[in-house]
Structure 1
Amino acid sequence: MITGEAANARVHLMRAHADAVMVGVGTVLADDPLLTVRLPGLESRSPVRIVIDSHLRTPPTSRLVAGAGEVPTWIVTTTGASVEVEKNLVERGAQVLRVASDEAGRVALSEALRLLGSRGLTRVFCEGGPELADALAQADLIDDLILVTGRSARGEGDVPALGPALQDRMDDLLLAADEQAGKDLFMFWEKP
């Protein structure tokens, strides 16, 4: 979905209140995002940018890595990921953190979040796609959920917003509020 200016500004404000903004490597590969705060007067409030990347597929030429000198970019990977690729990313300014892998060979998210917490990042705002959101739901690592309905679809090839684990978890969450932002709707869900 594509959201309007008011919704985009709201997301930038949410980033400014977070310690970190987190995406999966799929989002990096698909969108090449900046994940910075671009609101007048708040540009310096950009949080640490986190990429969950089990096999270090984040391109060294991505905007996240290219801007790592200005806004910290941490790539969380598994202990088995390539050391050579890590060196290349680190040379370009990114920080690579290694954690154990889960039974599927992906980053063990509970361990990753513990590591982030130990480094002072306790308010993590996940802007990832459905794969990361679903993995967080499956591991019961979601405290609050914000769903945004956009005003227009991108067209064919859209990725579903909710994976099966997140859809199942929705029954355990309470709708705390909803707010209009231009033509878009924000729905705020939280654990009871």
Structure 2
Amino acid sequence: MTVTLKLATSLDGRIATASGESRWITGEISRQAVHRLRADHDAVLIGAETALADDPELTVRLPGYNGRQPARVVLDSRQRLSPECKLVRTARDVPTYVVAVGDPDAALTEAGVRVLTARAVGEDRPELKSVVHALAAEGLSRLFVEGGGQVAGSFLRCGLVDALEWFRAPIVIGGEGRPAIGALAVATLVDTPHFRRTEVRESGDDLWERYERI
């Protein structure tokens, strides 16, 4: 499976203010580009915190688009998604997965959500390499990760990110803002994830940078 991490940040790598305000950091042209990227992948993944805070649809919403919708995946170890949220309510229309560390919740499965059980690590978080393997076993080969800083950091820390799609808005939020990437626990520069920039383009007022893992 190939894993692409999408980041939409300020110039200083923040995804929200200290209060959590994040809509919209990047502009409309960048947001449309993200929808096109979704359409190019088999599944879109977020963490439970993003799902609970934003109640997203994670679908491709472009004018005139009538193609295949990617599956939606939520890392939700405690299965906190409400049956009333958009992802669960539309699970019979668009394939929707919850990755948990316990037995499947009946309210989710009855709504059409497929609950995958992964091995737990740390604070009962799904072990990501087993998550990727489980999704690959479902026939998904191209994963688009749109989670928050903790999810981004976890995928990078595990060495699972093959490509970056980074949209930078021409604003500066400051150190009190929420970082795009959580802790990586690296002690030396040689231990950091390394990428090669493959393309830079303007995206409205934003900058769109594309990278692949070295």
TM-score range, shorter chain: 0.7 to 0.9
Show structure 2 runs of 5+ residues with no match. 1-21
Tell whether 2:138 aligns with 1:115: no
**Structure having the larger proportion of residues in helix:** 1
Task: State yes or no: 1:163 paired with 2:186.
Answer: no
Conserved? CA contact 2:45–2:146, under 8 Å: yes
Distance in structure 1 (CA, Å) of the matches to 2:50 and 2:212: 24
**Mapped contact 1:137–1:166 kept (Cα < 8 A):** no
**Normalising by the residue count of structure 2, what TM-score does the alignment of the two structures yield?**
0.79
1:143 aligns with 2:166: no
- CA–CA distance in structure 1, aligned partners of residues 177 and 82 of structure 2: 23
Percent of aligned pairs sharing the same letter: 36
Query: Out of 14, 35, 38, which is 2:61 matched to?
Result: 38
1:33-182 pair list within 5 angstroms: 33-78=56-101, 80=102, 83=104, 86-151=105-170, 158-165=177-184, 172-182=194-204
Give the SS at the match of 2:120: coil
Q: 1:164 to 1:68 in 2, by over 3 A?
A: same
Q: Would the aligned equivalents of 2:156 and 2:193 in 1 still touch at CA under 8 Å?
A: no
Shift of the 25–154 alpha-carbon distance from structure 1 to 2, 3 Å rule, reads: farther
| Residues 28/158 of structure 1: CA separation in 2 closer, same or farther (3 Å cut) | farther
Aligned residues: 188
Is residue 48–residue 76 contact of structure 2 (8 Å, CA) maintained in 1?
A: yes
Tell me how far 1:166 sits from its aligned partner: 8.9
The aligned residue for residue 29 of structure 2 is 6
Mean Cα displacement is larger for which, 144-153 or 17-26?
A: 144-153
SS of alignment partner, residue 97 of structure 1: strand
SS at match of 1:165: coil
TM-superposed deviation, 1:113: 0.4
Report the secondary structure of 2:140's partner residue: coil
Deviation at 1:158, TM superposition (A): 4.4
SS in 2 for 1:21: strand
Give the CA deviation at 1:111: 0.3
Q: CA deviation at 1:153?
A: 7.6
Structure 1 CA distance, aligned partners of 2:82 and 2:206? 32
3-state secondary structure, aligned to 1:6: helix
Which has more strand, going by share of residues? 2
Contact persistence 2:159–2:193 (CA under 8 A): no
In the TM superposition, what is the alpha-carbon distance from 1:163 to its structure 2 partner? 1.8
Q: Distance in 2 between matches of 1:24 and 1:73?
A: 13
Match for residue 51 of structure 2?
Answer: 28
Separation of aligned partners in 2, 1:170 and 1:128: 20
Cα-Cα RMSD? 2.4
* More divergent stretch after superposition (162-171 vs 53-62): 162-171
Q: Deviations over 1:27-63 (max 9, x none)?
A: 1011111100011232432100000111111222111
- SS of the residue 1:44 aligns to: coil
